[in-house]
Amino acid sequence: MAQFQYPCPDCRTTTNLHTPDCRFDGTPWTDIEAAYIDILSTLAQGAKREGRLREESPGRWDRLHSATLSRLRHDQRVRETPGGALELLTPVAFKEQIAVPSQEPLGLIYEEGSVPGCHDHAVFALIAYYEMVGLSWSETREYVTDWLRESGTWNRGGFEEATPEAVVDNKRHVYVRGYGWRQAAEEAAAVIKRRK
């Protein structure tokens, strides 16, 4: 099956298999990729307000462009400056920003680390989060194993696996299936808070 570089702005698939309710099922992939390239190439020339972005887009702005811009903002590849302009995060800035999740209760889990009794949920939630924001599997694996070590989680014990890498590899299905992170994060956070 063909794999595409950019996710569908609605259902986030990167193949031809959209979800049944996706607004862009049947939209040619060349159109979807063109919308991404219109936005990214225009913002690559500098931050600008949305009105100017629409005007300067090489392709005519349509609902696919609007949905693509929403996707880029949601995935934190484009952010709004204090002055109200839209700005492209450089790959480095993007990765630095998303490496440290700020949405609660993920922020708590990231900062405090996990404790025995909720490792499953905590690791699940972080992998689901990194998948959602568009990191590759190898980046997700690296970030989560770093977090297991640096947050003190690994040293607290309670894992059956021999290494942090094995812990993450055993949760690869979470990444592949694209589960949401919120429920697992809330269950893990409740355990971490009780331990404090």
Chain residues binding Zn ion by CB under 5 A are 8, 10-11, 18, 22, 24
Look up residue 102 and give its amino acid.
S
Query: Do residues 78 and 43 lie in contact, with contact meaning Cβ atoms separated by under 8 Å?
Result: yes
DSSP class of 17: -
10/112 with CB nearer Zn ion: 10
CA distance 171 to 188: 16
- The structure tokens 């609660």 sit at 104
- Closest distance of CB 22 from Zn ion, Å: 3
18/79 with CB nearer Zn ion: 18
DSSP class of 6: S
- Closest distance of CB 39 from Zn ion, Å: 17
- Closest distance of CB 92 from Zn ion, Å: 29
Look up residue 89 and give its amino acid.
L
Query: Do residues 128 and 173 lie in contact, with contact meaning Cβ atoms separated by under 8 Å?
Result: no
CA distance 158 to 140: 22
65/121 with CB nearer Zn ion: 65
At residue 181, what are phi and psi to the nearest 5 degrees? -95, -20
- Closest distance of CB 120 from Zn ion, Å: 30
14/76 with CB nearer Zn ion: 14
- Closest distance of CB 25 from Zn ion, Å: 6
10/38 with CB nearer Zn ion: 10
The set of residues, in sequence order, having a beta carbon less than 8 Å from that of 186 and lying 6+ positions away, is 105
